[in-house]
Amino acid sequence: MDVQDAAVTVEVPATTANLGPGFDSVGLALGLTDRVTLSGRSEGSSDLIDVVGAGADSVPRDDSHLVLGTIRQLYRDEGLDFGPLHLSCVNQIPHGQGLGSSASAIVAALLAGKTFAQRQGADVSGIDVFQIASDMEGHPDNVAPCVFGGMNISWDEDGRWNLAQLLPHPDIRVTLAIPDTVLSTRTARDLIPAMIAHKDAVRNSARTALLVHAFTTDPSLLLPATEDFLHQRYRREAYPRTYRLVCELRERGLAAAVSGAGPAVIVFSTTDPVDVLADVARSDPHGFQVTHTQINTTGARVL
């Protein structure tokens, strides 16, 4: 098959990690998606990257682009060379907001790269997208829901990443409040202390266990289930507007949390919280973009 005729399009969802107390271990796939199309180009030309939507004005157009760079690294590791490539990205997932954009980019790259190589007749059966993407991210909390959809608990054991898939309660609705600022995950992670008080560890363990019950069985417990004692308050200097909004929403009875490393805020409910959320968010002079989204149940897929 001619590489120019072997275009592959994949769709990957945004994700939110932690859901309050489930730090680096619990994640949920969301309805915002990125679409990536990979095809070959004629010999003698160079790689080409087209980007529409989120990041179009800021992402690089060479192999430092996360998707293309990941594909190129995958092919080097597998001893493959398909010549110059054409990458087309249509992005809905905001960058630097704690919605798993880097995990989604890596998963999209691995899935598209693997499928493209497979269509060229290459043996890529040994490529495990979940394992490789989790290695690249350093933790699987965003990768697991991106690959498999729904709600996931993930952990490492004996050098391998593992996951358990959960079915979220059908009554749960998701609302996002996205500010006009961005935050580096590395910056946010560096603010968490190396040690925390034992009583906070106990509280966080209890809330994480409750989180599983609330999301799968009894959503009336979402407010206490999403209370965190491990990371959000330590990061508040990196996202003061976000932290203030989370606190105000929780005082009004809404199960709000920082989405991943932030600064987006995510709210879980069984009723429509937009009026309350918009009212509180308007108190910030810069404002937040408030939007509904769905829970994605399919995960990454080849279209």
Q: What is the mean pLDDT of residues 276-287?
A: 65
pLDDT confidence tier of residue 272, bands split at 50, 70 and 90: confident
How large is the greatest C-alpha to C-alpha distance in the chain, in angstroms?
63
Distance CA 274, CA 297 (A): 23
Q: Does the annotation flag 60 for ligand binding? A: no
Q: Does the annotation flag 95 for ligand binding? A: yes
Q: What is the mean pLDDT of residues 79-92?
A: 95
Q: Dihedral of CA 218/221/223/226: which sign?
A: negative
In sequence order, the β-bridge partners of residue 258 are 265
Q: Does the annotation flag 46 for ligand binding? A: no
Delineate the domains of the chain, giving CATH numbers in brackets. 3-166+297-302 (3.30.230.10), 173-293 (3.30.70.890)
pLDDT in tens, 139-159: 999 999 999 999 999 999 999
Q: Does the annotation flag 126 for ligand binding? A: no
Q: Does the annotation flag 294 for ligand binding? A: no
pLDDT in tens, 54-72: 999 999 998 899 999 999 9
Q: Does the annotation flag 100 for ligand binding? A: yes
Q: Does the annotation flag 44 for ligand binding? A: no
Q: What is the mean pLDDT of residues 207-236?
A: 97
Q: Does the annotation flag 98 for ligand binding? A: yes
Residue 3: is its pLDDT beyond 60?
no
Q: Does the annotation flag 73 for ligand binding? A: no
